[in-house]
Chain A
């Protein structure tokens, strides 16, 4: 018997274990403990939550390895960390640290305006953002073992996440309804490999787990995207920019499990204090939108 590590099944499989769960952005080991205690299935270690990255401006990069290591030591759940789009050396560093998943993320300032990281070249699995099905399939083709719609990070506004999730799922339904000889052109239009397009048309779902990110700030937001068909959620600024992070975190975890039970949703939404303030999308100049990063 020979054991084989870092196979496609194990890469994709860890994301399958996170389904129905909440992955929370944390900036300190204390945050990470709060997240784990609330029932997070994983944490995303980063220096600043997206709302602060947005406010600070400048170039956002991979976090300090010392800070990531501190979080890895503090919790027993999987730890993810972000690398800039196309910055394969940041990814090499994160792999050397031993993080459980790398997020090639539009929340950081892109390092390459044409190419994403060749994720097949890594032993550690990657999650990547998308706005539509074509983008999702291009990322999977590059080796992403998990997909998340991007939403618009750091806004506390769910509207982009809903738009993108609906877009992905509608495009999947459209492929399902097509004749086989129409899939070639569908692949051309989606700018995605034919083999993946065909697989989606046959299976009626993405070949990897699909979470939603960017803008979730209440239990109702989480339940909304779960009812629409998300397999789990990322919550960034929504927890640690709220009035009572521990309570908000717990409530969002409960709402993600019981997304289809309005009585429980009402129960967990009680007395949470104020969620993060949030920004209307119209107030964000095009140049400051994060979701458009990624090619």
Chain B
């Protein structure tokens, strides 16, 4: 299983290390041709303004949208969430409008407001998750197809999923927290090789049976 990491700018090396630690082969994606043969993609933290320019300069925008349209999982952390949002508060143009949410950049303020906090993420089990928030964004609005995966105590939304797109305002890759990456790897495996029970393909043995 290969999973790509958008390696234009930011903490992509931390995503690469996390994928390797869970037994997935990471692929650094800098140009459209690097999307070939990967089952999913992580969009790292970093500066979304810089990433936007690097995505546009070498024509990655459409190939990334096409990749998402195949149903392969995409997982964005912090800047990666901003890059995938359909709406950015304050009127910036979206980069890859894949996730029907409105995000606000630097929603907590400047670096002095960066923080760590434990979160509950029900789909990842009972064990709380340690969230590292660095000049983090927040989700201000979610569309009807978007599931909220985690909120802060005050109710502000910090993790979401819409079909094959997952995004967090925090950085699991900085907290030795592998559960999101495992989830992405599982979704990628299911996308590439739908298993028994999948609605997208009949079970191979049953298909064999029907042919006879």
Residue numbers of A with Cβ under 8 A of B are: 1-7, 9-10, 13-14, 16-21, 36, 38-42, 72, 76-78, 95, 98-101, 123-125, 250, 253-254, 257-258, 261, 264
B135–chain A nearest beta-carbon distance, Å:
7
Give a binary string over B125-138; 1 marks a CB under 8 Å from any A CB, 0 the rest.
00000001111000
CB pair A5 B10 closer than 8 Å:
no
Residue numbers of B with Cβ under 8 A of A are: 7-14, 30-31, 45-47, 49-50, 53-54, 57-58, 78-79, 105-106, 109-119, 132-135, 152-153, 171, 174-175
CB pair A254 B54 closer than 8 Å:
yes
A257-B114 in contact given A9-B132, A17-B45, A19-B13 (Cβ < 8 Å): no
CB pair B110 A100 closer than 8 Å:
yes
CB pair A36 B49 closer than 8 Å:
yes
Most buried by A among B58, B110, B152: B110
B49–chain A nearest beta-carbon distance, Å:
6
Can you identify 22 A-B contacts, CB atoms within 8 angstroms? A3-B115, A5-B114, A10-B111, A13-B134, A14-B135, A17-B135, A18-B46, A18-B47, A19-B46, A20-B8, A20-B9, A36-B49, A41-B46, A41-B47, A77-B49, A99-B110, A100-B135, A123-B112, A125-B111, A253-B54, A258-B30, A261-B31
A78-B13 in contact given A18-B47, A257-B30, A258-B30 (Cβ < 8 Å): no
Most buried by B among A6, A19, A99, A124: A19
Chain A residues within an 8 Å CB radius of B109: 98
Most buried by B among A2, A13, A19, A100: A13
B172–chain A nearest beta-carbon distance, Å:
12
B111–chain A nearest beta-carbon distance, Å:
4
Most buried by A among B11, B46, B109, B114: B114
CB pair B50 A253 closer than 8 Å:
yes
CB pair A100 B53 closer than 8 Å:
no
A55–chain B nearest beta-carbon distance, Å:
31
Chain B residues within an 8 Å CB radius of A9: 116, 132, 174-175
Chain A residues within an 8 Å CB radius of B153: 1
CB pair A19 B10 closer than 8 Å:
yes
| Nearest CB in chain A to that of B46: its residue | A17
Residue from A5, A258, A261 in contact with B112 in the complex, judged by beta carbons closer than 8 Å: A5
Chain A residues within an 8 Å CB radius of B134: 10, 13-14, 17
A78–chain B nearest beta-carbon distance, Å:
7
| Nearest CB in chain A to that of B56: its residue | A39
| Nearest CB in chain B to that of A96: its residue | B112
Chain A residues within an 8 Å CB radius of B57: 254
CA distance A58 to B66 in the complex (A): 58
CA distance A63 to B154 in the complex (A): 38
A78-B46 in contact given A14-B111, A39-B54 (Cβ < 8 Å): no
B155–chain A nearest beta-carbon distance, Å:
12
List of 5 A-B pairs having minimum Cβ-Cβ separation, nearest first: A100-B111, A39-B53, A10-B114, A3-B117, A41-B47
CB pair A6 B54 closer than 8 Å:
no
| Nearest CB in chain A to that of B10: its residue | A17
A36–chain B nearest beta-carbon distance, Å:
6
CB pair A17 B112 closer than 8 Å:
no
Residue from A7, A10, A72, A77 in contact with B47 in the complex, judged by beta carbons closer than 8 Å: A77
CA distance A6 to B53 in the complex (A): 30
CB pair A124 B111 closer than 8 Å:
yes
CB pair A4 B46 closer than 8 Å:
no
